[in-house]
Structure 1
Amino acid sequence: MVSTSKIKSVDFYRKIPRDLTETSLSGAGLSIIAAFSMVFLFGMELNNYLRVSTSTSVVIDKSSDGDFLRIDFNISFPALSCEFAFVDVSDVLGTNRLNITKTVRKYSIDSKLNPTGSEFRSGPIANAIKHDDEADEEYGEGSVTLDARNFDRISHQHAILVVNFYAPWCYWSNRLKPSWEKAAKVIRERYDPEIDGRIILGKVDCTEEVDLCRRYFLVQICRNHIQGYPSIRIFRKGSDVRDDHGHHDHESYYGDRDTNSLVKTMEDLVAPISLQSRSASNSPPTKMKDDAKRPAPLAGGCRIEGFVRVKKVPGNLMISARSASHSFDASQMNMSHVISHFSFGKMITPRVMSDIKRLLPHLGGSHDRLNGLSYISNPSDSNANVTIEHYLQVIKTEVMTRSYKLVEEYEYTAHSSLVHSLDIPAAKFHFELSPMQVLITENSKSFSHFITNVCAIIGGVFTVAGILDSVLHHTIRLMKKVELGKNF
């Protein structure tokens, strides 16, 4: 067995008997200073070890999310009816996607942005509305001319009142007029208003009866309204009278506009109503071909929310009023809107965003910079045909963290303006993506490096303090010898 003395012979730290050492006041002072220095430097090293550090670089975009980018939005239009609101996407490569409905939802809202019902479903859009091939100038006047004085009286005299809201300058209104009058004459002959009274067809000139059109048909906000002509509305007598304003709920007709189709539609409406009751309140709903009849919006505004996927090239997201069979008075259109949300890329959960902000407090500040902003246009004689444009420059930021591995964030700058245009006013979002991306990487720190630095701090301070103590001790002894020499 190895003896104890042999083991002691390899001791690096040989002890000096306490009887051979002495303490000094200067050594005690240096020891206290050294101890405080060690604690202070250890605290700084520990803080540096625990602190998160990052490195930032700008590289060519090598996105892991492919060639397409998601745009989420929630925008409220107080003066745009859901009936005519369309969402379109285009880009510089020639891609044009019109009337996106699969990932977009629309809700009718009032002028205070409050919802007025469930989701508004516009139904399938016909590629072409059928009209009579030839205009017959001898069609006569078959429909009843309605105005603010006789509208309520006539609507309560008949179980069903079908009204054509038109404008004399409108091309589509003029195309409908012969068919409408001929269909009205046929219906009048088959269902005599004086004897039968179950249905009657009427018409309203919205250039003359502006208030009536606003009341029953069009959007109203601050005296401005969108006009889509012609619009055929179906009013039912009875329980359809709303208690809040005394107005009639009504449905919109979107089917063909030739005489035969109109007559067939009117007969389908009358069929469930008995001649004795003359009331549509208890009648079963009538289903028409190709979803030609749908509820009209309950209010004049529309909230549009959802998302679209676009290519990562400069492009446009546009929301506007459009119809293949209606005309619009562009000078009276109001595209004012309030943006509740507008962002690019995948949605980051609040928990992840909160953790990321601890790493990078500034991150996310420009992720949704349009949120909560309002853009108001007040069309008038001197300020008409106003398109509201937003120019967005988008850049991607990738954050590599130890906990979440990879977080992708799109931030953007926004510049907005009101532009006068000869076209139908719209709300346009022009977006342009940067080919570069910012890469932020969280730097990991080695625990062994931390321990090495701590040991270096302790050893270094101890060594330096020992050197200073030795120098100070020998200096004091030398000074004492010199002083003793002078005394002798």
Structure 2
Amino acid sequence: MISATKLKSVDFYRKIPRDLTEASLSGAGLSIIAALSIMFLFGMELNSYLSVSTSTSIIVDRSSDGEFLRIDFNLSFPALSCEFASVDVSDILGTNRLNITKTVRKFSIDPNLKPTGFEFHAGPLPTVNNHGDEVEEEHNEGSISLNSDNFDKYTHQHPILVVNFFAPWCSWSNRLKPSWERASRIMRQRYDPEMDGRILLGKVDCTEEFDLCRRHHIQGYPSIRIFRKGTDIKDNHGHHDHESYYGDRDSESLIAAMEALVRSLPTKSRTLELEDKSDHTVNAVKRPAPLTSGCRIEGFVRVKRVPGNLIISAHSGAHSFDASLMNVSHFISHFAFGKKLTHRMMSELKRLAPHLGRNYDRLTGQSYITDHDHANANVTIEHYLQIVKTELVSTRYSQEVFEEYEYTAHSSLVHSVNVPIAKFHFEPSPMQVLVTEVPKSFSHFITNVCAIIGGVFTVAGILDSILHNAVRLIKKVELGKQF
């Protein structure tokens, strides 16, 4: 066995007997300063060890979701009816998708952007057939011509008034006219306005009665509205919206629909009708109508990862539109690209890259409203969006990859001779930003801590030795002068 004496010979830290050491005030001061310095430097090193360190690089886009990009949006159009609002997608590869409905929802809204009804579901596209009705002569028209002077009178005079709002220049209105007039004549024969009068069919020329059509929020021609007791507003559990006819436009379908409306009324003699007419007109209370016929459009679409357009416009396969009357002013509640970020993903994003995420939903809260006057007619609102993808690789979640899309946005108003639209032109970047978390070495942290302790201790010892020797030298000089 190795003796204790031999073992002591390898001691690096040989002790000096306490009787041979001497304490001093200068040494005590330096010891306190050294201890504080060690604590401060240790705290700095610990903070550096616990802080996040990342490396950033620019690489070619290596998206994991293939060649498609998701666009989430929530847009409110105060002056665009849900009846005609269409979400379309196109790109430079020739893709064109019109009126996307599978992943898009629409709600009628009021001027304060609050819903006025339940989710809007468009009916089937009307079938426009003439069935030989085009041979009918003009003087045999059966519908009543309505204008601003007599409109309220007729709407209150009959339990049901069905009105065709049309424009003479509209091809769809002209195709509907023969069927509408034939149906009107037949309904007048069956329900004589003088003897029965439970239903009457009328028409309004919107090129002559511009204010009347605008008051009823007519945006497409022809529009067939159903007025009951003086109003076309239907009350659905506190929500209000216009009551319209969306069925086929041949005379047989129109007559069948009118008969169904009459069947919903109680049978009443014309005598009693005439007796009640004055009271009915006086006491009729209109349900509150929306001041505008707006629409909120929300949902998502998947597009190819190439430059393209998301377009919101008025579209119909059986209506015409007056471009000068269309207004696509809108408010953006949400517009973002890529997968929706969860709370955990947002927290990790802020931890790894606090400067990112500011442009994740850059258009949120932005409004693009134009006053609809002559100077602002036919105004298309365009947004040009440049998209950059960022990938974050986190070591906290075993090298899990988080994806986030940011974009810049530039908007402009463009006058056009066509029907105004709201266009979001997007252009994905072929490059992406890669942010990788760099893990910290614990051994490196321990090494630095030891270096701090040993370094401070050594420097303090050197300073104490210099100070102690200087004091001794001064004392010797003073003693030499005394002798």
- Verify same fold: TM over 0.5: yes
Map of 1:429 onto structure 2: 424
Task: Please state if 1:330 is matched with 2:316.
Answer: no
Residue in 2 aligned with 1:406? Answer: 401
Alignment of 1:131 onto 2:130: yes
- Structure 1 residues 268 and 420: alpha-carbon distance in aligned structure 2, compared to 1, 3 A threshold: same
Amino acid at match of 1:345: G
Question: What is the CA-CA distance between 1:107 and the residue it aligns to?
Answer: 0.9
- Which residue of 397, 407, 413 maps to 1:418? 413
CA distance in 2, matches of 1:312, 1:151: 53
For 1:112, the equivalent position in structure 2 comes to 112
Deviation of residue 443 (structure 1)? 1.9
| Matched ranges for 1:17-96 at <5 A | 17-24=17-24, 26-96=26-96
Q: Alpha carbon RMSD of aligned pairs, Å?
A: 3.1
1:376 aligned to which of 363, 369, 372: 369
Alpha-carbon distance between aligned partners in 1 of 2:375 and 2:70, rounded to the nearest angstrom: 38
Work out whether residues 233 and 253 of structure 1, in 8 Å CA contact, stay in contact via their aligned partners in 2.
yes
Select the residue among 358, 361, 369 that pairs with 2:354.
Answer: 361
- Kindly indicate whether the alpha-carbon contact (under 8 Å) linking 2:116 and 2:241 is maintained by their aligned counterparts in 1: no
Looking at structure 1, the residues matched to 163 and 230 of structure 2 have their Cα atoms a distance apart, in angstroms, of 17
Q: Within 1, Cα distance between the matches of 2:186 and 2:123?
A: 29
Distance 1:365 1:27, change over 3 A: same
Residue 252 (structure 1) aligned with residue 244 (structure 2): yes
SS at match of 2:175: helix
Match of 1:169 in 2: 169
Residue identity matched to 2:411: S
Matched, 1:386 2:379: yes
The alpha carbon displacement at 1:257 in A equals: 2.0
Structure 1 stretches lacking a partner, 5+ long: 220-226, 280-295
* 1:203 corresponds to 2:203: yes
Q: Kindly indicate whether residue 266 of structure 2 is the aligned counterpart of residue 236 of structure 1.
A: no
User: Do the aligned residues in 2 keep the contact of 1:87 with 1:100 (CA within 8 Å)?
Assistant: yes
**1-structure distance, mates of 2:432, 2:132:** 58
Residue by residue, what CA displacement relative to the aligned partner does 1:274-293 show, whole Å, maximum 9, x if unpaired?
543799xxxxxxxxxxxxxx
Matched, 1:300 2:300: no
TM-score under structure 1 length normalisation: 0.85
Does the 8 Å CA contact 1:163/1:203 hold for their aligned counterparts?
yes
One-letter amino acid of the structure 2 residue matched with residue 349 of structure 1 = T
Residue 156 of structure 1: how far off its partner (Å) = 3.7
Question: 1:249 & 1:343 partners in 2: Cα distance?
Answer: 30
SS of the residue corresponding to residue 212 of structure 2 reads: helix
SS at match of 1:394: strand
In structure 1, the partner of 2:280 is none
Secondary structure in 1 matching 2:130? coil
Determine the C-alpha separation between the residues in 2 that align with 1:27 and 1:17.
Answer: 18
CA-CA distance at 1:472 after TM superposition: 5.3
Matched, 1:184 2:177: no
Separation of aligned partners in 2, 1:433 and 1:420: 27
> Which position in structure 1 is the counterpart of 2:281?
none
CA change 1:482–1:151 in 2 (3 A) is closer
CA distance in 2, matches of 1:78, 1:451: 64
Q: Give yes or no for contact 1:129–1:255 (8 Å, CA) kept in 2.
A: no
Which of 456-465 and 429-438 deviates more?
A: 456-465
Deviates more, 1:229-238 or 1:171-180: 229-238
- Matched residues in 1 for 2:434 and 2:87: separation? 33
8 Å CA contact 1:331, 1:380 repeated in 2: no
The 1:449/1:133 distance shift into structure 2, 3 A limit, reads farther
Sort the Cα spacing of 1:366 and 1:241 in 2 relative to 1 into closer, same or farther, 3 A.
closer
Structure 1: how far apart are the matches of 2:128 and 2:474? 115
* Paired amino acid for 1:218: H
SS of equivalent residue, structure 1 residue 208? coil
AA matched with 2:250: D
Q: 1:145 Cα shift?
A: 1.4
Kindly state the Cα deviation for residue 241 of structure 1 after the two structures are TM-superposed. Answer: 7.0
1: CA distance, partners of 2:266 / 2:30: 111
Return closer, same or farther for 1:273/1:475 CA change in 2, 3 Å cut-off: closer
Partners of 1:67 and 1:129 lie apart in 2 by 40
Alignment match, 1:269: 261
What secondary structure, in the 3-state scheme, does the structure 2 residue paired with 1:378 have? coil
- The equivalent of 1:342 in structure 2 is 335
| Higher mean C-alpha displacement, 456-465 vs 443-452 | 456-465
Question: Measured at CA, do residues 162 and 275 of structure 1 come closer, stay the same or move farther in structure 2, by a change above 3 Å?
Answer: same
Moved more, 181-190 or 321-330: 181-190
Residue in 2 that maps onto 1:290: none
Within 1, Cα distance between the matches of 2:54 and 2:465? Answer: 44
Q: What displacement does 1:299 show?
A: 5.1
**1:192-234 Cα distance to aligned partner (Å, 9 max, x none):** 222332322111122222333233x316xxxxxxx31111122
Q: Which residue of 2 aligns with 1:13?
A: 13
Asked whether the 8 Å contact 1:84–1:321 carries over to 2, the reply is yes
- The structure in which a higher percent of residues are helix is 2
Per-residue Cα deviation, 1:307-347 (whole angstroms, up to 9, x for no partner): 11111111100000111111111012111111111111122
Distance 1:238 1:334 in 2: 28
Q: 1:277 to 1:122 in 2, by over 3 A?
A: farther
Give CA deviations for 1:409-444 in whole Å, capped at 9, x if unaligned.
111100000001121101000000111111112222
Q: In 2, are the aligned partners of 1:249 and 1:298 still within 8 Å (CA)?
A: no
Q: Once the 2 structures are TM-superposed, how far is the Cα of residue 445 of structure 1 from its aligned partner?
A: 0.9
Residues 442 and 250 of structure 1: CA distance in aligned 2, closer, same or farther (over 3 Å): closer
Question: Counterpart of 2:227 in 1: which secondary structure?
Answer: strand
Q: Secondary structure at the match of 1:218?
A: coil
| 1:241–1:249 contact (8 Å) kept in structure 2 | yes
The alpha-carbon deviation at position 104 of structure 1 amounts to 0.9
TM-score when normalising by structure 2 = 0.85
Following the alignment from structure 1 to structure 2, what is the Cα–Cα distance between the partners of residues 301 and 231? 16
Q: Percent identity?
A: 72
> What is the identity, as a one-letter code, of the residue corresponding to 1:261?
S
Q: Secondary structure at the residue paired with 1:434?
A: strand
Distance in structure 2 (CA, Å) of the matches to 1:177 and 1:129: 11
8 Å contact 1:116–1:298 — kept in the other structure?
no
Distance 1:16 1:379 in 2: 96
